[in-house]
Structure 1
Amino acid sequence: MARITFYGAAGTVTGSKYLVEAGKAKVLVDCGLFQGLKKLRELNWKKLPFDAATVNSVVLTHAHIDHIGFLPRFVRDGFRNKVVCTPATKELAKLLLLDSAKNQKRDADYLNRKKLSKHSPALPLYNAEDARRAIKRLKAVPRGEWRELLDPIWVRFHDAGHLLGSNMIEMEIRDRDPPLRILFSGDVGRYDAPLYFDPAPPPPCDYLICESTYGDRDHPQEDILDILAERVNKAFQRGGVMLFAAFAVGRSQQLIYLLQVLMHAGRIPRFPIFLDSPMAVDATKIFRTFSQDHDLSEGQLSPPSSVLDGPNVELVRDHERSKQLNRVTGPAVIISSSGMMTGGRILFHLKRRLPDPKNTVLLGGYMAAGTRGRDMQEGRSFVRIHGQDIPVRAAIDSVSGLSGHAGRSELLRWLKDLPKPKQTFITHGEPDSAASFAAALRDQYQFDTVIPQLGDSFELGE
């Protein structure tokens, strides 16, 4: 008998962790960090209900922190086996895990210095050495090839179109004939998204674990180049600086690539672009290494170097240079991370730029509940940064076409030709989104849907 238990991304978007048990094998699909609301972040500190040392393998859908960010803590807690992923995910995970450890230490140090924490001292969830130990566990395997994790569990990867190296995971439990087939969607990408190819068709499965981040809504039907040109030109008419909070891996590269395409076509003026993220700069090298995974059909720029090249692009690594950007006047674009404005250099830029109505903050993609990005998206007059309430006077705008997540109609399109599974588990969505998408699958495709909550466990097969 096989069993799946949902230890993350169930009833919420983040913290992806699914434990599959079959025979003597225990495999964890994703090992993500909870983000957003305080009650979710506190789950990162709660002891897992299972022993990390008993898990035989971790397998990753992709490198975003809500899917890999708990790995250093998991290794600290006793996990000693391999973390299986694609080559691009391995390289990106090295950057993201070390950066996550650095950000946690920096945030803890800041809280201690300013005496803003009720804990004395405030501690990070893990440190850089924990991250390095986790990185040593990463094992890269190519897409499309079956791999045995531990008898009877086998997996293979298929392109999910969400991020460089991202996958859906096809799993077979081979202690029966025919094997029990489980499909983990990971995060499903958009169709015709810049830089990424369309998500591969889902293979037939007995059980489907499907994300629902945008399960209750669609992205506007807008041409991304048209809408980005309109937003940029409008922002510069105000005379200020455009600040874009972008994920350092993926979103930053997409944005600079598209801005360069628009400038090359004469649709927006030429202006300086400051990429204020050492990790984003490093990530670009990885993007170039895996340039065969890029779809650069939006413009005539020659791949792969065009993604971040240009005399108007400054790649900012140095912290002092980052602080000097406070003196930059428009027109200019500053791209900084993190994407949901939960930490990193973007917070210092927000403190400087939000109070000035000439500036524009451009949001792109999903903003989880409890993040500063969601607060601004919902029109809050103030956002809290480093213990201060910062007034939001800058214009808040958005470019939804840069979302890495399929909208509701795109998810339904992705699943349209999939033979009906025995059961479909709807995960990785806020409650309303998951419920709406589950209803759509029942109504349109007659799928038997379940919305698991944290800790729920299900037997699979007979």
Structure 2
Amino acid sequence: MIVYSCHGAAREVTGSCHVVECGDSRILVDCGLFQGGHGAFDANTRGFAFDPRSIDVVLLTHAHLDHCGRLPKLVRDGFAGSVVSTAATRDLARVVLLDAASLQEDEARRARSRGDRDAMPISSLDDAFRALDAFDRVAAYDEAFEAAPGIRATFLDAGHILGSAFLLLELDDGTNRRRMLFSGDLGHHGSGMLRDPLPAPPADFVVMETTYGNRPHRSFEATRKEFLDAVGDTLKARGNVIIPTFALERAQEVLYCLHGGLREGKIAPGTQVFLDSPMAISATAIFRRHPECFSEGFREALRHEDPFAMPHVHFTHSVEESMAINAIEGGAIILAGSGMCTGGRVRHHLRHNLGRSRAGVVLVGYAAEGTLARDIVDGKKVVRIGRHEVPVRARVWTINGFSAHAGQPELLAWLGEEPRRQVFLVHGEPDGGMAAMRDILQARGVSVACPAFGVPCRLA
């Protein structure tokens, strides 16, 4: 018997987690954290709807927290198998899981100090280290291997972030044979650094993300021009440029764009650039170690110069170095986390610069409802940062084309015209990208399902 069930990203965007049963084997594809919304903490702390001890192996598509963030809990709850990923994903996951556990421990300590004696982290640092010990097998792109008896797996380049993959599973329960694809998260074409996603090969069943299934993205070149214009306008006004930045992929893309702007004369030589995010600094070092993930054009650029090490770039590790940046009143470019301005060092940079009319804030990522970034995007005249009420006089730009996700045309192109027995749509808003992709595929005569949480689907 071959059975599939979805235990995360079922009719929602985050928490990717999928169980595949084939004969006596049972594997997991991803084990991600639920993010956003009032119910996320409860969803992350309650028990799994399957027995973690029954899972033979976890196949991890990439290192974003909503795909790997519950691995420490999985291990704590009894999983004793291997986690298999690409080498780059393994290295990034180490940074992501340790950072997340540290933040969760800090949040629990603050909650206990406020009187909640029972507050505990979703995962502790000890849980994270134990999960990282399970990363004892590395997969190479395009090379099939036996994940478990009756299950052969192939990691194929998804072009989403460094090391990201979609999975081809060849399933044989002794009576039936099926081919099944898991898209993971698919990348946006033409990003410059990474290769474009490979097209989906023939398969009976496809589990496909729909994050941006209802709209296309702007081209990377148009996005790059808009970004450099925003940076250039602020520097001409002798203001600081504050760029709230996600540590994985976005920080490295922004550094790459800034390097190009300096080379092309759109940013003046000698401009001081600060990467003020220890996690982004660690991720950038990992990028340098994995040229196998880069596009041919980016590898060629690396042969001549390092686009992450342009002149006058400062990697600020310590809190003291970060605070010293605030003495600069204009002419600097400051990249700092977090991307939605909910925490991290970017908040004190915003507190010092939002009130300056010559400063600029360039937002290069999604800003969820209820976040400081969203307040800035929505044009609030005064925002609250910690205990401070801060007037917003700086110019604000929202650059939407940096998304690492495929847009609707790219998702459809990835799926192609190959006949499929069924396509399962996951990882999207039920009334947004998921609904749009469902309607398009059904109009093409494709059998489509939006699986409910934990409901088994028999494939053979």
Q: Tell me, which stretches of 5 or more residues in structure 1 are unaligned?
A: none
TM-score by length of 2: 0.91
Deviation at 1:161, TM superposition (A): 0.4
Where does residue 141 of structure 2 map in the other structure? Answer: 143
In structure 1, what is the equivalent of residue 433 of structure 2? 433
Matched, 1:321 2:316: no
Q: Which of 161, 164, 173 is residue 162 of structure 2 equivalent to?
A: 164
Q: 1:376 to 1:421 in 2, by over 3 A?
A: farther
* Map 1:71-150 → 2, pairs under 5 A: 71-112=71-112, 115=114, 119-120=116-117, 122-138=119-135, 139-150=137-148
Q: Is the 8 A contact 1:158 1:168 kept in 2?
A: yes
Deviation of residue 354 (structure 1)? 3.8
Could you say if the C-alpha distance between residues 354 and 434 of structure 1 is closer, same or farther in structure 2, counting changes exceeding 3 Å? farther
CA 1:384–1:413: 2 relative to 1, 3 Å? farther
* Secondary structure, aligned partner of 1:401: coil
Alignment of 1:378-397 (within 5 A): 378-379=378-379, 386=386, 392-397=392-397
CA distance in 1, matches of 2:248, 2:58: 22
Cα distance between partner residues in 2 of 1:300 and 1:258: 16
Q: How many residues matched?
A: 456
Superposed CA offset, 1:412-453 (max 9, x none): 222234x1211111111112221012212223x322212223
Alpha carbons 2:23, 2:174 under 8 Å: kept: no
Structure 2 runs not aligned, ≥5 long? none
- The equivalent of 1:265 in structure 2 is 264
1:300/1:134 Cα in 2 relative to 1: closer, same or farther (>3 Å)?
closer
For residue 401 of structure 2, give the secondary structure of its aligned residue in structure 1: helix
* In 1: Cα distance, 2:344 partner to 2:6 partner: 30
Q: Deviations over 1:332-360 (max 9, x none)?
A: 11112233334333344344444544433
- Alignment-mate amino acid for residue 165 of structure 2: N
Partner of 1:27: 27
2:327 is the alignment partner of 1:330: no
CA contact (8 A) 2:291 2:299 kept: no
What are the residue-to-residue correspondences of 1:122-271 with 2, within 5 Å? 122-138=119-135, 139-176=137-174, 179-221=177-219, 223-270=222-269, 271=271
Q: Which amino acid aligns with 1:133?
A: R
CA contact (8 A) 1:262 1:268 kept: yes
SS of the residue corresponding to residue 19 of structure 2 reads strand
Alpha-carbon distance in structure 2 between the residues aligned to 1:119 and 1:254: 41
* Separation of aligned partners in 2, 1:269 and 1:328: 17
SS of match in other structure, 1:21 = strand
Distance 1:36 1:378, change over 3 A: farther
**2-structure distance, mates of 1:382, 1:446:** 51
Post-superposition CA distance 1:232-286 (Å, at most 9, x none): 1233345432222222121111111110111111022232111011222222222
Are the counterparts in 2 of residues 253 and 307 from structure 1 also a CA contact under 8 Å?
no
The Cα offsets for residues 374-393 of structure 1, whole Å up to 9 and x where unpaired, read as 45444456666557776555
CA distance in 2 between partners of 1:333 and 1:299 (Å): 26
Distance 1:194 1:240 in 2: 28
- Report the 3-state secondary structure (helix = DSSP H, G, I; strand = E; otherwise coil) of the residue aligned with 1:306: coil
In the aligned structure 2, how far is the partner of 1:367 from the partner of 1:43? 22
Given that 2:275 and 2:313 are in contact with CA atoms closer than 8 Å, whether structure 1 keeps it comes out as yes
Which residue of structure 2 lines up, in the alignment, with residue 458 of structure 1?
457
The amino acid that maps onto 1:259 is L
In structure 2, what is the Cα distance between the partners aligned to 1:8 and 1:392? 38
CA 133–382 in structure 1, closer or farther in 2 if over 3 Å, else same? farther
Deviates more, 1:89-98 or 1:282-291: 282-291
Task: Report the alpha carbon displacement of residue 44 of structure 1 after superposing the two structures with TM.
Answer: 0.7
Q: TM-score, normalised by structure 1?
A: 0.91
Q: Say whether the 8 Å CA contact 2:200–2:416 is kept in structure 1.
A: no
For 1:120 and 1:343, locate their aligned partners in 2 and report how far apart those are by CA, in whole Å.
24
The aligned runs of 1:282-321 (5 Å cut-off) are 282-295=282-295, 297=297, 301-303=301-303, 306-321=306-321
